[in-house]
A and B are shown apart, each in its own frame.
Chain A
Amino acid sequence: MLEIELNGIRFRNPLILASGILDESGETMLRVARAGAGGIVTKSIGMKERAGYENPVVYELPDSQGLLNAIGLANPGIANYGEEMRIAKGGGVPIIGSIFGSTPEEFAFLARRMEEYGADAIELNLSCPHAKGYGMEVGVDKELVEEIVGEVKKSVRIPVWAKLTPNTHDIVGIAKSVEKADALVLINTVRGMAIDVDARVPVLSNRFGGLSGPCIKPIGVRAVYEVRAEMEKPIVGVGGITTGRDALEYIMAGANAVQIGTAVYLRGLEVFSLIAKEMEEWMERNGVESIDEIVGAAQRR
């Protein structure tokens, strides 16, 4: 009932682990696969090993509203990632290799290596809101992202997904500039800050971070809806999905699949099987037999 096909890749359910959450080591990804995820996006991997920022790198918002994080693109570097991919592939679900770079050539190089490592697709991190010279700084430059996607598409045979930032007034314009991508991933975290009033300083060592969790869901749903209204391309919705109803909301806005991140913190690793069950229950009650029936159902055309 939940099975989908996206860019020719079969997913047993549309619930994919989002990049940056529990996806650095192969064995943890294996465990996420066994916990019921339909697919897994790796941590964003770059040209060189990066330790990331000093602690604190995460701030927990009150009342389960979400998280603010600035991990700082910590990653072991592409040269050290083959073994993790090999282990992760043993989970039997599609593994999407997330990469970040600062030039089209770097992205193309990283994509080729990920393809060699067995990635089922590439996700381009064009949107990390807290790393200088990477991510969002790249992702709001339409000409640059167009060039990156073009270079990567020429370099690999596997599908290429472009993960876009919500930190722009023109998400539809950016989405159109990456027309050559096989799918769009909407949205990355929202740039934010938290200040501890007793300490009188920003909590995160990087000061700025990316906001995720239930508090950003309406921003993500809006972004998916706006882009779907203009484009036919497959969309993977992400941002605050915590329950089956949240996932259905993104799908009705126009997403073909969704990604889950912060909800792993809110509901544990069981979150994938819990959301799958909640979706199936709703679908049974409402006579819906497949996800495809309701993609974009809320669009007013």
Chain B
Amino acid sequence: MRMYHVVEIEEIHEEAKDVRTFLFRDSSEPKPGQFYMIWLPGVDEFPMSISHIGEVKGFTVKKIGAGTARMHELREGDKLWIRGPYGRGFEIIPGRALVVGGGSGMATLAPLIEMLPNADIVIAARTRDELLFLERFRERKPWIATDDGSLGFKGFATQLAENLLQDREYDVIYTCGPEPMMLAMVNLARKYSVGIQASLERYMKCGIGICDSCSINGYRVCVDGPVFHAEELFSMTELGKVRRAPSGRKEVMR
């Protein structure tokens, strides 16, 4: 159905500490929240959500392993082998929205934010250097949280989000970030009776719904998600607690 197509990197932008955006053009038509499998021949293949949608598309990649480290060595004019777009993206719900992005989770949320001109935005990270897309969304006046207080609210994204939920009426929360943060957001959504969509990230192999590597409580992140809705998220007892090793063995999250 979908084999690799080869795209050329047109521009590379430094976004934050260990985070770069790679811009390219192709004819695929992704929705916010969808992802591609990026293959670097001879190195690795890994899933990556789309961070820029339109005539020029982009992947915003944090250096976390061998594959992403190699990707950071690529230059403008180099090629990427990609297959996709895959998975279920965000569904835009009418009404007032709160978008909460933790760390590189902002990469997944960015194209959604561009489609939600009135949404409130929380950009959070451990520290100032890791905050993503402050410039891209400057005019949207995002709320900022850092764990160490180096910029904006000192504390977790979820604490800042709870302050907002107490003060303002929202219809839906969109979130992406570390899984414990998303679990906390899911609990807040339940507490304040607000809808929620969260984009999950799990160790992924096939990307097409057959290998069971990325499954969480029977939901396949690659095809049933990566974006899941409130009722599904409420039913996931493993969310933020249990993950699976590459072998499929369950491990408790730290």
> Could you list which residues of chain A lie within 8 angstroms of chain B, going by C-beta atoms?
21-25, 27-28, 30-31, 43, 49-52, 54-64, 67, 69, 71, 74-77, 80, 83, 196, 198-199, 201, 203, 261-262, 264-265, 268
Contacts and interface: CB of A to CB of B under 8 A. Distances in A.
B137 interface: no
Contacts of A22: 209-212, 215, 220
Contacts of B249: 49, 76-77, 80
Band of interface residues on B? 35 or more
Nearest to A27: B218
Interface SS of chain B: loop
A23 B218 CA distance: 10
A81 B111 CA distance: 41
Contact of B81 (A49, A62, A198, A262): A198
A23 B2 CA distance: 24
B247 A77 contact: yes
B28 interface: no
Given A23-B212, A31-B218, A58-B208, A51 B42 contact: no
Contacts of B45: 55-56
A74 B247 contact: yes
Contacts of B245: 49, 51, 76
Interface in B2-60: 2-4, 6, 37, 39, 41-42, 44-46
| Interface-centre pick from B1, B2, B42, B250 (highest chain A CB count, 10 A) | B1
Given A52-B247, A60-B208, A67-B210, A28 B1 contact: no
B81 A24 contact: no
Nearest to A204: B45
Contacts of B207: 58
| Interface-centre pick from B39, B41, B210 (highest chain A CB count, 10 A) | B210
Contacts of A77: 247, 249
B88 interface: no
Interface of B: 1-4, 6, 37, 39, 41-42, 44-46, 79, 81, 83, 205-213, 215, 217-218, 220, 244-250
Given A43-B248, A51-B247, A54-B44, A71 B208 contact: no
B244 A49 contact: no
A101 to B, nearest CB: 16
A204 B45 CA distance: 10
Given A196-B4, A198-B6, A25 B39 contact: no
Contacts of A60: 1-3, 83, 208
Contacts of A261: 210
A83 B242 CA distance: 14
| Interface-centre pick from A43, A57, A60, A80 (highest chain B CB count, 10 A) | A60
A115 B217 CA distance: 25
A62 B1 contact: yes
A43 B205 CA distance: 15
Contact of A265 (B209, B212, B215, B248): B209
Contacts of B218: 25, 27-28, 30-31
Nearest to B206: A58
| Interface-centre pick from B83, B212, B244, B250 (highest chain A CB count, 10 A) | B212
A76 B248 contact: yes
B247 A25 contact: no
A269 B90 CA distance: 22
11 contacts: A28-B218, A30-B218, A49-B245, A58-B205, A58-B206, A60-B208, A77-B247, A199-B42, A203-B4, A261-B210, A264-B209
A79 to B, nearest CB: 9
B82 to A, nearest CB: 12
B247 A75 contact: yes
Contacts of A55: 37, 39, 44-46, 205
A301 to B, nearest CB: 38
Contacts of B46: 55
